[in-house]
């Protein structure tokens, strides 16, 4: 397992050497299916589970469907609804006064450009809230975002940039979006993973940087990712990743 890292908690759980993978020590796995969409919740509950999974204690939710790869609007809408519901559940006890979205990755490298692309399509409202009509105030959150690029281009750790922003903006929640690496080719571009444990940029490439999590930033961090590369591809180090 040490030789074949994966960003997906689901794949790490599948590798556990136990007769009952759904109830390994400190690891709980629950899967439900809605038509052709599979939702798997992996919960790491103690230090033994964290050691076995090589991931922090917390919840990891995956939404998987082959339809993510194709232009199937109706299925995409259902996946959006499921993603929204799971995100709401993970953040149910977190204040959402201001949300800072971090788009991790290198916009110049196609499989690593997910984060910057998400930021480009995010509705940014923090700077216009005071000018919105009163009728809209109750349904619009304060959202700001940035795509800080990668250390190979900036010479600055992403966590250093984000910590400075958090100190100034004082968000109540950080959402980090990044491309992930998967062991199974079938999961590339067909899985979305959410976790409340934060993220270590570049972990799937074997170049893990300073983590973005509640311990390092002082605020809750939700990480959302999609595997865009097969794990064997990560053996080839991108020069600017």
pLDDT at site 232: 67
Write the DSSP symbol of residue 212: B
d(C-alpha 12, C-alpha 59), whole Å:
13
Q: Where are the alpha helices (DSSP H) in the chain?
A: 9-14, 47-53, 73-90, 114-120, 134-137, 151-154, 158-169, 214-217
pLDDT at site 17: 61
Residue with tokens 């993973």: 193
pLDDT at site 35: 84
Q: Nearest Cα to 224, choosing from 81, 118, 122?
A: 118
Q: pLDDT below 50 — which residues of the chain? A: 1-3, 235-241
d(C-alpha 12, C-alpha 121), whole Å:
31
pLDDT at site 161: 94
Alpha carbon distances (Å) from 129 to 79, 118, 135: 29, 21, 12
Burial of 14 (0-12, 13-18, 19+ CB in 10 A): middle
Domain 9-235: CATH superfamily is: HybD-like (3.40.50.1450)
CB 169 within 8 A of CB 144: yes
162 phi and psi, to 5 degrees?
Answer: -65, -40
Write the DSSP symbol of residue 225: E
pLDDT at site 21: 53
C-alpha of 10 from chain center:
13
pLDDT at site 236: 46
Residue 52 has which token pair? 């076995």
d(C-alpha 175, C-alpha 223), whole Å:
6
């Amino acid at each position: 397992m040490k030789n074949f890292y994966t960003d997906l908690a689901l794949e790490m759980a599948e590798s556990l050497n136990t007769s009952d993978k759904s109830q390994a020590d400190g690891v709980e796995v629950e899967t439900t299916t809605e038509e052709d969409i599979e939702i798997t919740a992996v919960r790491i509950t103690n230090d033994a589970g964290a050691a076995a999974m090589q991931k922090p204690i917390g919840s990891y939710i995956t939404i998987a469907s082959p339809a993510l790869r194709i232009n199937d609007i109706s299925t995409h809408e259902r996946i959006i609804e499921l993603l929204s519901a799971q995100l709401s559940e993970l953040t149910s006890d977190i204040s959402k006064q201001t949300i800072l979205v971090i788009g991790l990755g290198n916009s110049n490298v196609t499989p690593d450009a997910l984060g910057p692309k998400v930021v480009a399509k995010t509705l940014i409202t923090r700077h216009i809230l005071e000018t919105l009509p009163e009728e809209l105030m109750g349904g619009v959150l304060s959202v700001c975002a940035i795509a800080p690029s990668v250390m190979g281009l900036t010479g600055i750790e992403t966590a250093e940039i984000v910590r400075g922003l958090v100190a100034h903006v004082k968000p109540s929640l950080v959402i980090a979006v990044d491309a992930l690496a998967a062991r199974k080719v079938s999961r590339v571009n067909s899985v979305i993973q959410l976790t409340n444990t934060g993220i270590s940029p570049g972990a799937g490439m074997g170049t893990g940087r300073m983590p973005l999590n509640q311990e390092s930033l002082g605020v809750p961090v939700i990480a959302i990712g999609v595997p865009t590369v097969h794990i064997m591809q990560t053996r080839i180090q991108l020069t600017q990743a």
